[in-house]
């Protein structure tokens, strides 16, 4: 009987230790690794943006005066293309935005729904992020309020969006929240919108939290940071 009790006790201690180590891994180590990865993605973007751009077309060119503005190139799957700032979540809060919402992509930062509009363009630019684990990018998502700024840059332009509605709770199957004119957003006609999505509850994924915003202003990066990012 003593052997059985001792064996069971040792087994319980072992299982308990494994559970504690797993919790530490989920709460701490994945966050540390994710922060490093996100920092690397931002550094990669900043290095790309620091490279000299192609020279403009020669003045007087016959094509320069007649050609329509070029269509923006598609974003590369799994690669970063912008940085997002949300002052409500802290003036040091900034995350890379990558193309796609695959599991591996969301471990590196926020993910752009590839089927939605590009940044600043007509339509709905929709972005997803983890609520918990992998850096907890949207841990404080419920704090977002109407009027809050969501600022993004693609290295050439600052885009300032203003939240109009949310956080709105819905189910994962409610994919209409990222439509060009999002359902239940309050918008009634096409525009330049932003949708942010994350999981609800904090440690689960049975529901989703949504906020919607409209493009409020843009300015070139040469003009300095937008007002929303000035302390």
Separation between Cα atoms, residue 114 and residue 133, nearest integer Å: 23
Concerning whether 12 is annotated as a catalytic residue, the answer is: no
The encoded tokens of residue 92 equal 């040091």
- The closest alpha carbon to 89, from 34, 38, 130, 144, belongs to 144
Query: Which spans in 107-208 are helix H?
Result: none
Concerning whether 130 is annotated as a catalytic residue, the answer is: yes
Q: Which of 130, 205, 207, 214 is catalytic?
A: 130
**DSSP 3-state of 194:** strand
The encoded tokens of residue 229 equal 């990012």
37, with CB counted inside 10 A (0-12, 13-18, 19+), is middle
The encoded tokens of residue 178 equal 């990222």
Q: Which of 12, 112, 199, 214 is catalytic?
A: 199
Active site residues: 130, 199
């Amino acid at each position: 009987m003593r052997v059985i009790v001792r064996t069971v006790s040792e087994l319980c201690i072992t299982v308990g230790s494994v559970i504690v180590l797993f919790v530490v891994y989920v709460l701490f180590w994945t966050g540390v690794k994710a922060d490093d990865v996100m920092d690397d993605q931002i550094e990669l973007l900043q290095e790309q943006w620091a490279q000299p751009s192609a020279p403009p077309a020669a003045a007087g060119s016959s094509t320069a005066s007649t050609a329509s503005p070029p269509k923006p190139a598609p974003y590369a799957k799994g690669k970063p293309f912008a940085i997002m700032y949300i002052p409500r979540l802290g003036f040091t809060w900034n995350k890379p935005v990558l193309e796609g919402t695959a599991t591996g992509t969301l471990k590196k930062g926020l993910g752009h729904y590839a089927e939605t509009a590009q940044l600043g363009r007509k339509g709905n630019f929709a972005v997803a992020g983890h609520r918990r684990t992998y850096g907890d990018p949207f841990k404080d998502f419920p704090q977002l309020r109407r009027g809050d700024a969501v600022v993004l840059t693609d290295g050439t332009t600052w885009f300032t969006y203003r939240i109009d509605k949310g956080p709105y709770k819905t189910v994962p199957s409610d994919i209409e929240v990222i439509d060009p004119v999002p359902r239940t957003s309050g918008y009634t006609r096409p525009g330049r919108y932003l949708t942010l999505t994350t999981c609800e509850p904090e440690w689960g994924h049975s529901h989703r939290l949504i906020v919607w915003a409209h493009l409020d202003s843009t300015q070139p990066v040469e003009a300095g940071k937008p007002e929303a990012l000035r302390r």
